[in-house]
């Protein structure tokens, strides 16, 4: 927001993103994180300006979800990945999702302080963003920010703490999901028990420098993937300690997954889930009941044009609930 408190014009911000004006990113985040009616209206205009209908196709940026238990080394890994992407001249935006402060409503930990960034590099933008009301969840603002920034940045990363609903919710938003586990800490065993093996497109074993323990973790994960008939999920071992290892392999695995993805179909599903999440956040279970339940809401969304942005889809749900 400006010093006078005026709400920025969403359509103008969308035009700046379409021109690949990376300097628009802070204003975009400030807008989508503001909950006033005027800001929500401008956020809808922003998302309409970068929708497939306006762009003539999907936004070009690669939305990557990175999740895993606290302390697994995601921030150190992202610092190395950022450098690897910049080696290929990729512009990168990182949305580091932190627990929400009950007092301010904002991000509590400020994860950007833990990610190594060259302050002079204008092609990198890192922002801490609040998780919302549910532990491990994604706030609607994060979904909106990722969709908008993908119009300008080559890579948009959503980093979440792997607790609560974060694993499945980031999979609803991202094109490619990397789940990071740490060998020798119980993370791998808990991950196997958690029943979320269908979530990751790439499994990342951190701290590969631990030797035999890391090798065993890699073997356990590959065995689990074979048992679940998920041969397309890559397992990559990395170490962020100098000299870092596995980082380029991880970058290439993420890009390879994106290359084989049916992006329009995947993004259409993501926008529908975004719209449903926004509808539920606004109207709760009572609103869902007015639609005949979640399944009926999903069927209604499936009848909408695939290039519609999330606010337009939410409006369709609200119209159906009213009538």
Q: Answer whether residue 89 shows pLDDT above 50.
A: yes
Q: Is the pTM of this model over 0.95?
A: no
Which token pair is 188? 């791998």
Select from 156, 162, 157 the least CA-distant residue to 181: 162
Span 207-249, pLDDT tens digits = 888 788 888 888 888 887 777 767 678 889 998 878 889 999 9
Q: Phi and psi dihedrals of 118, rounded to 5?
A: -80, 110
**What is the rounded CA–CA span in Å between residue 51 and residue 47?**
6
Write down the domain spans for the chain: 62-259, 262-323
Q: How many other CB atoms sit within 10 Å of the CB of residue 305?
A: 11
CA-to-CA distance for 322 and 319, rounded, in angstroms?
A: 5
Domain 62-259 of CATH type 3.40.50.300:
yes
With beta carbons less than 8 A apart as the criterion, state whether 14 and 42 touch.
no
What pLDDT score does 71 carry? 79
172: helix, coil or strand? Answer: helix
Between CA 173 and CA 171 the distance in angstroms is 5
Please give the DSSP secondary-structure letter assigned to residue 224. H
Count Cβ atoms within 10 A of the Cβ of residue 53 and give its class: 0-12 exposed, 13-18 middle, 19 or more buried: middle
Q: What is the pLDDT of residues 107-124, one digit of tens each?
A: 334 444 467 788 889 999
DSSP string covering 152-167: T-SEEEEEEESSTTHH
């Amino acid at each position: 927001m400006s010093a006078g408190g005026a709400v920025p014009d969403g359509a103008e911000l969308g035009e700046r993103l379409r021109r690949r004006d990376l300097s628009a990113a802070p204003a975009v985040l400030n807008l989508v994180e503001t909950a006033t009616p005027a800001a929500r209206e401008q956020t809808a205009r922003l998302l309409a300006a970068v929708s497939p209908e306006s762009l003539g196709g999907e936004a070009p940026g690669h939305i990557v979800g990175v999740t895993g238990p606290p302390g697994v080394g995601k921030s150190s890994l992202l610092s190395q990945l950022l450098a690897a992407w910049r080696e290929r001249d990729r512009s990168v935006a990182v949305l580091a999702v932190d627990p929400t402060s009950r007092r301010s409503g904002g991000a509590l930990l400020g994860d950007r302080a833990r990610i190594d960034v060259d302050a002079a590099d204008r092609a990198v933008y890192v922002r801490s963003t609040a998780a919302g009301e549910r532990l491990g969840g994604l706030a609607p603002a994060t979904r909106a920010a990722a969709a908008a920034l993908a119009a300008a940045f080559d890579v948009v990363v959503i980093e979440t703490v792997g607790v609560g609903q974060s694993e499945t919710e980031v999979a609803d938003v991202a094109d490619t999901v990397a789940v990071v586990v740490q060998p020798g800490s119980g993370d791998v065993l808990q991950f196997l028990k958690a029943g979320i093996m269908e979530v990751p497109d790439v499994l990342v074993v951190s701290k590969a420098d631990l030797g035999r323990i890391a090798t065993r973790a890699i073997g356990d994960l590959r065995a689990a993937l074979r048992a679940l008939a998920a041969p397309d999920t890559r397992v990559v071992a990395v170490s962020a300690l100098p000299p870092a290892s596995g980082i380029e392999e991880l970058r290439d695995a993420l890009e390879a997954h994106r290359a084989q993805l049916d992006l329009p179909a995947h993004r259409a599903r993501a926008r529908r889930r975004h719209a449903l999440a926004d509808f539920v956040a606004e109207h709760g279970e009572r609103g869902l009941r007015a639609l005949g339940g979640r399944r009926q809401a999903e069927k209604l969304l499936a009848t909408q044009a695939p290039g519609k942005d999330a606010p337009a889809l939410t409006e369709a749900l609200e119209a159906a609930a009213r009538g």
